Amino acid sequence: MSLPPMVYSPSDVPLKPAPINPHWVRAGNPLARNTVLSRSQDGTASTIIWDCTAGEFVWHYDIDETIYFLEGSAVIGDAANPARRFVPGDVLFLPKGAVAHWQVDNYVRKVAFCRRVQPRLVGHALRAASFARRLVTGRGLAAPAPSLGA
């Protein structure tokens, strides 16, 4: 059985307009752009480059999103956490259902790892199928513990 090939995606790709929902904008005229770099075969995961100019907005997450900040900065907070500034090198996880307030002073660029959340029963079934596949193929199982009394 052959494994799928690695997929290389440069991060200096042209971005396309990706307007923020106008009802979410609180101040300014933030202009957002993005490009999908990769997508999983089943369509549940993707990697996106996204950037945005100055403005304030609220973002409603309908997916799990892990963000790695590349350039610029943004002050981000939610109802449970005080706002803090995120800069290049910082990582932020926002689960499905989160509502985050973004304040971009000048510009921000990020790579976003997005995952569509499956219903709990589907998630359990996928994990069970993956475990069964590893049992059958022997891939990914822990190596036997070394014998201590030789």
Specify if 42 maps to a domain: yes
The answer to whether 91 and 65 are in contact (CB under 8 A) is no
SS3 content of the chain, % helix, strand, coil (to 5): 10, 45, 45
Tell me the average pLDDT across 35-44: 91
Specify if 52 maps to a domain: yes
Three-point CA angle 37, 15, 89, nearest 5°: 65
Q: What is the pLDDT of residues 74-101, one digit of tens each?
A: 999 999 999 999 999 999 999 999 999 9
Q: What is the pLDDT of residues 101-140, one digit of tens each?
A: 999 999 999 999 999 986 666 555 666 666 677 778 776 6
CATH number at residue 96: 2.60.120.10
Specify if 141 maps to a domain: no
User: Concatenated DSSP letters for 93-126?
Assistant: EE-TT-EEEEEEEEEEEEEEEEEPPPPHHHHHHH
Specify if 87 maps to a domain: yes
Specify if 133 maps to a domain: no
Specify if 131 maps to a domain: no
Tell me the average pLDDT across 35-50: 93
Ranges of H-type helices in the chain: 120-137
Domain containing 33 equals 16-115
- Distance, CA of 114 to CA of 94 (rounded, Å): 10
pTM: 0.76
Specify if 143 maps to a domain: no
CB-count exposure of residue 67 (10 Å: 0-12, 13-18, 19+): buried
- Distance, CA of 149 to CA of 87 (rounded, Å): 53
Domain count, the chain: 1
Specify if 3 maps to a domain: no
